Structure 1
């Protein structure tokens, strides 16, 4: 009787353990609104950096033109 009871308990525990080993459901892709929010944040961060790079390039161009004008003037 005890052997039968322990066998049933063991079988129940085994079934519970196997039931816990199922594959998880596939995760849903992120919502498109979240991607749009990330794009807005990325743009908000990168816009000032891009503007600063453009200003730096313009300043470098002006410096090169000024240096060329000074050299052309004989200086």
Structure 2
């Protein structure tokens, strides 16, 4: 019998504690700070770009070889 009023009171207290206000306007995250790892990441990106170029040249050369062999 005492559970219902106790539960109702607890629910009302919890409902009163919640806020519908949104936090302060968050327009955008702060700018990214450079880290110690940045030069290594840039070098890795450049290496991947070079590998893509080499792979494209290999594919073109392979195609020309197949063409020259008559396959």
Higher helix share: 1
Shorter-normalised TM range: 0.3 to 0.5
TM-score (structure 2 length as normaliser): 0.42
- Larger Rg computed on CA atoms: 1
TM-score (structure 1 length as normaliser): 0.41
